[in-house]
Amino acid sequence: MAGETILIVDDAQQNHHFLNDYVLLPNGFKPLSARDGVEGLQMAIRHKPDLILLDLNMPRMDGMQVLRELGGHNLDMPVILMTFHGSEDIAVEVYRLGVRDYVIKPFYPDEMLKAIEKSLAETRLKREKDTLIERLTQANRELQSRVNELNVLYGIGKSVVALQPIDQLVTRLVDAAVQMTGAEEAYLMLADGDKQALRAVKRADMPRAQLVQASVVDPIAAQVIKSGRPIVLDAEKLKRIPGSPHSAAYAPLVIQDRAFGALGVRNIKADSITFTQNHGALLSALSDYGAIAMENARNLERRSNPS
């Protein structure tokens, strides 16, 4: 494995050429160069390289000073010290300051490459561990999200059995749509000729969905009711519609292949999430449950109040 960025901090230009030409570039590393300790510290802070090859004796700021400054900036990156003096006293001091290894000048390319690979091994393992932890964390978040979605759908399923009045169902459906999709707004509309009858609404400033009785013209809802298919729209697709939201998703309420309404969610703010096809699928499942529940409630009302 290569491709890591390695910063060379050395005042001898010939050492930069030697390391670049015989060690770093031939083995796929990305080199950075600093001519002294001050420049090296600045580049370490700016670029955060994967490894630093640090000369001990330099003008303005020597290797020991650079190591102390790196610690002061909480920069935890491996360092290989390059020095003509390989005494035990130096080794103890540099290891105490966080150096992974040191090589004595002059050195062979294979010697330096071995030290680099040894120093990067720990970094690579840590990176792999961090990546694995992040994947597991993300998987747990997604699993919890799926569990929450199933719980909401289960609640709607119980509404079908419970035969709630339609007024309770429509607000329950709208609240559930917000909960499942993280939407800022949600609406339930029924077909009413060329218009739609708005029956329940949940806006951003409302704690819960409210019943309404209003005639509205919603071209997206009209399209969904006509086609009987759900639709998910992002800002790019919505920009042609005046006063359009940042993102929207709608699903039809269908009974016996006939769409009689639509359940829709919207996000208004530009920094809000953009609905995905997964949101559309969840909304479709929710609207299917809702359509059955509403039809059952209507049938119960007809039986209770025969004309």
Sequence-ordered alpha helix ranges (H) in 163-276: 166-181, 219-227, 235-238
Tokens describing residue 125? 């393992």
Tokens describing residue 296? 């059952």
Q: How confident is the model at residue 62 (pLDDT cuts 50, 70, 90)?
A: confident
Q: What is the pLDDT of residue 306?
A: 66
Q: What is the pLDDT of residue 245?
A: 84
Does 110 score more than 90 pLDDT? Answer: yes
C-alpha span between 28 and 5 (Å, rounded): 10
Tokens describing residue 299? 């049938």
Mean pLDDT of the chain: 86
CATH superfamily, domain at 164-304: GAF domain (3.30.450.40)
Confirm if 196 and 221 have CB atoms less than 8 A apart: yes
Q: What is the pLDDT of residue 234?
A: 87
Phi and psi based region of residue 31 (left: phi greater than 0; alpha: psi -120 to 50; beta: remaining): beta
Top pLDDT among 303 and 27 is at 27
Rounded to an integer, the average pLDDT of 180-208 is 92
pLDDT tens digits, 144-192: 877 777 777 777 766 655 667 888 889 989 998 998 888 999 999 999 8
Tokens describing residue 184? 């800022």
Separation of CA 264 from chain center? 24
- Where, residue-wise, is CATH 3.40.50.2300 in the chain? 5-130
Q: How confident is the model at residue 2 (pLDDT cuts 50, 70, 90)?
A: low
Tokens describing residue 72? 């002061």
CB neighbourhood size of 78 (10 A): 21
In degrees, rounded to 5, the angle at the alpha carbon of residue 244 between the alpha carbons of residues 240 and 250 is: 100
- Where, residue-wise, is CATH 3.30.450.40 in the chain? 164-304
Does 85 score more than 90 pLDDT? Answer: no
Query: Looking up tokens 């909304």, which residue turns up?
Result: 283
Q: What is the pLDDT of residue 1?
A: 53
DSSP 7-26: EEE-S-HHHHHHHIIIIIGG
CATH superfamily, domain at 5-130: Response regulator (3.40.50.2300)
Q: What is the pLDDT of residue 238?
A: 79
